[in-house]
Amino acid sequence: MGRRISSSTNIFPKLAVYTSSLVILLCRPTISSDELIDKTPLFVFGDSLFDSGMTLYNGVEGAGAEFWPYGFTFFKKPAGRYSDGRVIPDFIAQLSGLPFFIRPYLLPGLDDYSMGVSFASASACVLVETRPGTINLMTQLYYFDKMVQKLKDQVGEMEGKRLLSKAVYLFNIGGNDYFSLFEENRADLPLSYYQKRNHMNMILGNLTQHINTIYKQGGRKFAFLNMGPMGCMPSMKFMLGYNGTCAEEPLDVARMHNTAFAALASRLEVHLPGFKYTIYDFFTSLHIRVLHGNSFGFKESETACCGNGPFNGGYSCQKKEHSFSVCSSPSDYLWFDAGHPTEKANEQFAKELWEGGPNIVAPYNLQTIFAMP
């Protein structure tokens, strides 16, 4: 598992992080318009699992994975990603042939939206009341509407419509809504069936509205990660004081959501002409790695590389001047911090999403979705 290093301070100043993020996100090879014309744009929505730097620019102090040890495996310094390196959309961008990582919408100076952009932001929720002050999904859709007009101003009305129709819309959202449900009610667990069902219905109702917003703007090709196995997260076990491999009640809530969301997506396909979707079974993919990490190259699949407390389930490595321990070899670990996978795990997930069979991503894999007209 590698030697663990203890730290009580964060050694990268914020200015250096912002500067490095600009370099990483803006620098890209010069390519001609002819080379780009057949590329499919990628628009990303979601939470910290997909965040590629939005929270560096949201004005909230201490948000955005802006301190060491975030980013040190690939970027060699913090890059606004909640991992030791790249996150899933970074790998998808590479697999799809885009010439750069998808850049966050709030990146200063960003004026080219023709190949896509990321609205995903840490702590994002579907329900606006879950975590006030974050870039929730409603805010992300507000930014998306503004981006649509900027895109059409950039490339023209007709070309803008063509790109919006051709684009893929990649989602990972809802986990923070359910996590907060347990956080707010942990003294009264187990949750009642009514609590769980009512919360799920509100989440799915709001999510449906946001999908329809994108559809009305021309979006037709959607890809979703289903809800991961929340009960296996180091942060969930830390919060609940659970000492086993995975807490069962959060797993059941995730399963309930995933069943209902799969039925919802199928209904949308029936009622929205031209709507195409795929769902990556993130629950199963992550769960099996927790249970059988060695089979996927992970020496440690329950304790996070960085954090404090049982399972390193405390989020101390996200906070300046907090004490935490950090491993010296993240590639040995499934979890980088209390709630986010390592770059190695993210690459595995992205490849399954891109080229996996119907047992893990259905009704199409993402490569097929990208190739659709």
Report, as residue numbers or ranges, the catalytic residues.
48, 337, 340
Answer whether the bond into residue 363 is a cis peptide, omega within 30°. Answer: yes
For residues 226 and 279, is the Cβ–Cβ distance under 8 A?
yes
Q: 3-class DSSP state for residue 6?
A: strand
* CA 299 distance to own-chain centroid: 24
Q: How far apart are CA 289 and CA 287, in angstroms?
A: 5
CA triplet 86, 162, 263: central angle to 5 degrees?
65
Residue 139: what residue type? T
251: how many CB neighbours lie within 10 A of its CB?
19
- Nearest to residue 126, comparing CAs of 170, 178, 87? 178
Are the C-beta atoms of residues 301 and 342 closer than 8 Å to each other? no
Q: Which amino acid is at 335?
A: W
By C-alpha distance, which of 279, 271, 172, 165 is closest to 220?
Answer: 165
Q: How many whole angstroms separate alpha carbon 347 and alpha carbon 88?
A: 7
- For residue 123 the two structure tokens come to 């702590």
CA geometry: angle 180, 184, 185, nearest 5 deg = 115
Q: Which token pair is 161?
A: 């419509």
Beta strands, E only, the chain? 4-7, 42-46, 116-118, 168-172, 221-225, 276-280, 306-307, 324-327, 361-362
Dist CA 250 CA 353 (whole Å):
24
Query: What count of other Cβ atoms lies within 10 Å of the Cβ of residue 265?
Result: 19
